[in-house]
A = this chain, B = another copy of it.
């Protein structure tokens, strides 16, 4: 079971992500990022690779795709906010996008 990030762990886990374009959501304990790709094939190809990791880790994103853009929100509903799974998936998303 995951648990909500403690005040002590938030900084070390979240600060690096804030430098790669992630932001803290407003109104909920979540992180967001908009990924831009060259075209739809690149965007959906990236989503497909992310989807396999998400399923493997049983932690799934909220995401919206419009052509070459993917808006992502990550949070852990089971714990009512951010858990260690969120920065883990965020780092994987960045890595798969070459960020």
A residues contacting B by CB (< 8 A) are: 40-41, 44, 47-48, 51, 54-55, 60-67
- Between A41, A54, A55, A64, the greatest number of chain B beta carbons within 10 A of the residue's beta carbon is seen for A64
State the oligomeric state as a number of copies: 2
Q: How many angstroms between the C-alpha atoms of A64 and B96 in the bound complex?
A: 20
Task: Tell which of B41, B51, B55, B66 touches A55, judged by Cβ atoms closer than 8 Å.
Answer: B41
Flag if A65 contacts B66 (CB, 8 Å). Answer: no
Q: Contact: A51 with B60, CB < 8 Å?
A: no
Contact (Cβ within 8 A) A40 B55: yes
A62 touches B60 (CB 8 A): no
A54 partner, pick from B40, B47, B61, beta carbons under 8 A: B40
Closest to A45 in B: B51
- In the complex, what residues of B have CB within 8 A of residue A54's CB? 40
